[in-house]
């Protein structure tokens, strides 16, 4: 009887020990799986971040390459503009000499003093001088440049004339009814035409 009880107790101890070992093994396996999943997510996050950075860098590189390419095309178009060789210095000197001549006019001194009639006369003469020079430059360009280039230049020139007149009229309207009305008008015409002369020479002629 005593031996039977001892055997039952021993059997119970063995069963309880086995169940405890299984429980610990299960907890350890769960812990290991959780750690593995965490590492997998971290690796995935790092991989995604790396992929995003590579994508951003690639996008930026393409953007920079596109920008550089556009800059090169624009520069090429400017350099490829048709020009008359060997006449730029000649015409720049002509234009400079016109201003020197205008500065010696008797009207210039009174104009600088603000005398209305002298200002109107001086800027009227100045406009006529540079308008004559502009016609000379344009006639040369018509002779020397190709029909294709002149077609574009003609449209550009027509647009410029309209803008010149609009600007001059706007300046005159600021003094409408006053003694300075015509002064403002001729001053604007003179400045626009003089600038246009230098612009055509620099854009369509070389030294």
Per-residue pLDDT reduced to its tens digit, 106-146: 999 999 999 999 999 999 999 999 999 999 999 999 999 99
- Residues whose CB is less than 8 angstroms from the CB of residue 180 and which lie 6 or more positions away in sequence, other chains included: 116
**Residue 4 to residue 32: CA distance in whole angstroms:** 43
Structure confidence at residue 162 as a pLDDT band (50, 70, 90): very high
The mean pLDDT value of the chain amounts to: 76
Query: Average pLDDT in the 87-94 region?
Result: 97
Q: In terms of pLDDT, which residue wins out, 124 or 74?
A: 124
Per-residue pLDDT reduced to its tens digit, 10-37: 455 444 444 444 444 444 444 444 443 4
Q: Is residue 58 predicted with pLDDT exceeding 90? A: no
Give the domain ranges of the chain: 1-80, 83-204
Structure confidence at residue 81 as a pLDDT band (50, 70, 90): confident
Structure confidence at residue 80 as a pLDDT band (50, 70, 90): low
Q: In terms of pLDDT, which residue wins out, 173 or 49?
A: 173
pLDDT score for 91:
98
pLDDT score for 79:
52
Helix 116-144 vs helix 147-173: crossing angle, to nearest 10: 170
Q: Is residue 100 predicted with pLDDT exceeding 70? A: yes
Report DSSP letters for 166-202, one per residue. HHHHHHHHTTTTSTTHHHHHHHHHHHHHHHHHHHHHH
Beta strands, E only, 110-172 = none
* Bridge partners for 84 per DSSP: 205
**Residue 19 to residue 72: CA distance in whole angstroms:** 79
pLDDT score for 77:
42
Q: Which of 2-6, 49-53, 173-177, 183-187 has the lowest mean pLDDT?
A: 49-53
Q: In terms of pLDDT, which residue wins out, 52 or 15?
A: 15
Structure confidence at residue 155 as a pLDDT band (50, 70, 90): very high
Closest C-alpha among 121, 124, 129 to residue 98: 129
């Amino acid at each position: 009887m005593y031996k039977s009880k001892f055997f039952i107790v021993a059997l119970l101890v063995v069963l309880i020990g086995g169940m405890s070992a299984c429980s610990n093994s299960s907890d350890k396996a769960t812990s290991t799986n959780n750690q593995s999943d965490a590492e997998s997510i971290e690796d995935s996050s790092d991989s995604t971040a790396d992929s995003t950075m590579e994508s951003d860098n690639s996008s930026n590189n393409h953007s920079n390459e596109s920008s550089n390419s556009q800059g090169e095309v624009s520069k090429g178009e400017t350099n490829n503009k048709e020009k008359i060789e060997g006449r730029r210095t000649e015409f720049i000197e002509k234009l400079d000499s016109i201003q020197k001549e205008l500065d010696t006019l008797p009207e210039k001194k009174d104009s600088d003093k603000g005398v209305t009639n002298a200002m109107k006369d001086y800027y009227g003469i100045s406009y006529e001088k540079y308008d004559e020079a502009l016609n000379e430059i344009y006639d040369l360009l018509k002779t020397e440049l190709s029909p294709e280039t002149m077609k574009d230049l003609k449209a550009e020139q027509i647009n410029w004339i309209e803008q010149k007149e609009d600007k001059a009229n706007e300046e005159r309207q600021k003094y409408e009814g006053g003694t300075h009305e015509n002064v403002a008008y001729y001053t604007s015409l003179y400045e626009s035409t003089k600038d246009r002369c230098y612009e055509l020479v620099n854009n369509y002629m070389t030294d």
